Amino acid sequence: MHPTIEKMMEVVAKGEETAIHEILAEDVRFLPPTYWATWTGRDAVAAVLGHVGAVFSDFHYRRVMGEGNDWALEFQCKVGELDAVGVDLITLGEDGLIAQFEVVMRPYKSVGALREAMNARVMTDARFLKFREALS
């Protein structure tokens, strides 16, 4: 398994923002399961993933598939009391860092709960005002 994928499996679920930051490319793109938008840039993506780690509980990867620069990591977790499953679709750049990170997740009710929990968290994180302006 690629060392970046191994490190990702260790740090993303825990929400270790500093460690997450280290495995992301400078211009990484993150496509969340909660809405049709893309977060771009190491600082913004590390902050988002740090919050996700705090929202998810009982998180674990069930299967890892891939080779080279393309990986799919199936996970299971809880969002509050709701069960969820999903897949992290990861593309590594030539430097071995995460260049694109897309998440697909189900069921719909759990994705809605994730969106509500994330919105509540980012509303209290002043950094997101800057990141939001960058999205506009």
SS3 40: strand
Give mean pLDDT in consecutive 10-residue pieces for the chain, a chain of 136 residues: 93 86 96 85 90 89 96 96 96 97 94 88 74 51
Q: What is the dihedral of CA 120, 121, 126, 132, to 10 degrees?
A: -70
Would you state the pLDDT for residue 119?
82
For residue 131, the model assigns a pLDDT of: 61
pLDDT value at position 3? 95
Q: Is residue 136 part of a domain?
A: no
For residue 107, is it within any domain? yes
pTM as predicted: 0.87
65 part of a folded domain = yes
Rounded-to-integer distance, Cα 53 and Cα 59, Å: 9
- The predicted structure's pLDDT at residue 89: 97
Number of domains present in the structure of the chain: 1
Q: In CATH, what number is assigned to the domain containing residue 81? A: 3.10.450.50
